[in-house]
């Protein structure tokens, strides 16, 4: 196991009605609030009104930044930072999914940075200080509610890049599973695939001795496999939604990644698909992941794939060829995504072959895929993986 620092200081308020804590959480920080949200789902499901009831005019001044895009854009961050200065903001309140939270993190850090916030994606050390951030999570997926990451898109350059820093970690996050009842089937499936991918990206690493991380990751993967279909069939199933929501946070708060080495593979590739075609992150991951698995399956990796097949999917390996067992595990994941009604080819999400080579080169250029991935990947490898998604 590698040395690590595990730091997860976000105060989590989990469960039905926990929004009631909002008044206390915000008043301990300040009065001037920047309320950040997306395309309006919070107005349809009532969370917006609840926030205003809990932060009344008499005690708080709320400035709004609405319309954060899925795959949040750098221009929205710039706009948010300006609002913070204009309105002397004390605290950023993000109400939404990963996109709203990621955008809010960048706004909070941009407030203290004199240059352009896109710089954060070029150099993480520029994220030094940020306004306090509080989040109200409305969908289970990214883990942004409990981590230091932020993924931003620059549509002018077709780049989707991540940044992050300790200063961006939310101070408190309210996680009410009932808020996720209105999440569409598409986003529920995408979010569940994203959680699964966060676990797999660290599970498949070159370390063989980080056992406690892998047993936890397997447990969370099995939880998602059990509850995603239930939430898809019955959106207001509390048991399913609460287990998915807590899985989202635990899958990417550092718990299963600590002590593991290497860069992530499928995320680096998916971010290029989203950068060029603005597709849903979790759907892109679901399409790529089984193809990536088949590509990296070899004599060195097969033991880990057998472990995955046995421990996550309960596949009996007795008397069977290791490669057959590994492939059964990969097929089981593919079949699960199909059963969640995820379209499993790139043409189905509007991607043709025109930019495959370009995206493959960019994936390698924007990451350390070629040197530090579980199995290092060249642009040719990425191209082969993507062409297998047709």
Beta strands 61-65 and 91-96 are: unpaired
Which residue, 245 or 309, has its beta carbon nearer to ligand NZQ?
A: 245
Residue 187 binds ligand NZQ (CB under 6 A): yes
Least distance in Å: CB of 171 to ligand NZQ?
16
Nearest to 190 by CA among 68, 314, 98: 98
Least distance in Å: CB of 236 to ligand NZQ?
12
Residue 201 binds Zn ion (CB under 5 A): no
- DSSP 8-state assignment for residue 134: E
Least distance in Å: CB of 95 to ligand NZQ?
8
Residue 138 binds ligand NZQ (CB under 6 A): yes
d(CA 234, CA 250): 23
Q: In what order do the strands lie in the sheet with 91-96?
A: 11-14, 172-175, 133-137, 91-96, 32-37, 61-65
The single residue among 180, 223, 247, 249 that binds ligand NZQ, judged by CB under 6 A, is: 180
Contact status, residue 244 vs residue 180, Cβ threshold 8 Å: yes
> How many residues would you count in the chain?
390
Beta strands 159-164 and 149-154 are: antiparallel
Which residue, 183 or 258, has its beta carbon nearer to ligand NZQ?
A: 183
Residue 194 binds Zn ion (CB under 5 A): yes
Residue 139 binds ligand NZQ (CB under 6 A): yes
By CB atoms closer than 10 A (0-12, 13-18, 19+), residue 327 is middle
Residue nearest to Zn ion (CB): 194
Give the number of other CB atoms < 10 A from CB of residue 97: 27
The single residue among 23, 61, 182, 317 that binds ligand NZQ, judged by CB under 6 A, is: 182
Angle of helix 211-233 versus helix 238-251 axis, rounded to 10: 150
Phi, psi of 90 (to 5 degrees): -100, -30
Residue 45 binds ligand NZQ (CB under 6 A): yes
d(CA 188, CA 270): 18
Residue 281 binds ligand NZQ (CB under 6 A): yes
Of ligand NZQ, Zn ion, none, which one does residue 165 interact with (CB within 5 to 8 Å by kind)? none
Interactions with ligand NZQ, residue window 89-118 (CB under 6 A):
96-100, 102
Residue 163 binds ligand NZQ (CB under 6 A): no
Of Zn ion, ligand NZQ, none, which one does residue 188 interact with (CB within 5 to 8 Å by kind)? none
Which residue, 183 or 325, has its beta carbon nearer to ligand NZQ?
A: 183
- DSSP 8-state assignment for residue 390: -
Angle of helix 266-277 versus helix 379-387 axis, rounded to 10: 70
Residue 386, helix vs strand vs coil: helix
Residue 252 binds ligand NZQ (CB under 6 A): yes
Which residue, 186 or 238, has its beta carbon nearer to Zn ion?
A: 186
Residue 214 binds Zn ion (CB under 5 A): no
Of ligand NZQ, Zn ion, none, which one does residue 96 interact with (CB within 5 to 8 Å by kind)? ligand NZQ
Applying CB under 6 A, which residues contact ligand NZQ? 38-41, 45, 70-71, 96-100, 102, 138-139, 141-144, 147, 149-151, 179-180, 182-183, 187, 191, 194, 252, 267, 281-282
């Amino acid at each position: 196991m590698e040395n690590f620092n595990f730091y997860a200081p976000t105060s989590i308020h989990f469960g039905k009605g926990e929004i009631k804590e909002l008044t206390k959480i915000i008043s301990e920080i300040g009065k001037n609030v920047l309320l950040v949200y997306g395309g309006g789902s919070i107005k349809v499901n009532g969370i917006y009104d609840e926030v205003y009831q809990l932060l009344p005019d008499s005690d708080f001044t709320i400035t709004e930044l609405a319309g954060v895009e899925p795959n949040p854009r750098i221009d929205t961050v710039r706009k948010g930072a300006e609002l913070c200065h204009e309105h002397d903001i004390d605290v950023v309140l993000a109400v939404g999914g990963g996109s709203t939270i990621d955008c809010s993190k960048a706004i909070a850090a941009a407030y203290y940075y004199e240059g352009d916030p896109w710089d954060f994606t070029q150099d993480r050390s520029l994220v030094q200080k940020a306004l306090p951030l509080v989040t109200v999570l409305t969908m289970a997926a990214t883990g942004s509610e409990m981590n230091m990451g932020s993924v931003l898109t620059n549509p002018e350059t077709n780049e989707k890049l991540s940044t992050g820093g300790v200063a961006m970690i939310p101070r408190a996050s309210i996680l009410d599973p009932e808020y996720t009842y209105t999440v569409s089937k598409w986003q529920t499936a995408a979010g569940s695939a994203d959680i699964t991918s966060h676990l797999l990206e660290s599970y498949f690493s070159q370390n063989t001795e980080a056992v406690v991380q892998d047993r936890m990751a397997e447990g969370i993967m099995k939880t998602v496999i059990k509850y995603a279909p239930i939430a898809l069939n019955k959106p207001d199933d509390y048991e399913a939604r609460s287990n998915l929501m807590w899985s989202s946070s635990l899958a990417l708060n550092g718990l299963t990644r600590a002590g593991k080495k290497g860069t992530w593979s499928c995320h680096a590739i998916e971010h290029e698909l989203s950068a060029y075609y603005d597709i849903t992150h979790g759907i892109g991951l679901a399409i790529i992941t089984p193809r990536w698995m088949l590509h990296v399956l070899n004599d060195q990796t097969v033991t880990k794939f057998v472990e995955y097949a046995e421990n996550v999917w309960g596949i009996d390996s007795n008397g069977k060829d290791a490669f057959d067992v590994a492939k059964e595990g990969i097929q089981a994941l593919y079949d699960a995504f199909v059963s969640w009604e995820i379209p499993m080819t790139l043409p189905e999400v509007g991607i043709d072959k025109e930019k495959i080579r370009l995206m493959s080169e960019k994936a390698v250029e924007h990451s350390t895929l070629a040197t530090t991935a579980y199995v290092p990947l060249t642009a040719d490898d990425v191209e082969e993986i993507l062409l297998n998604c047709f």
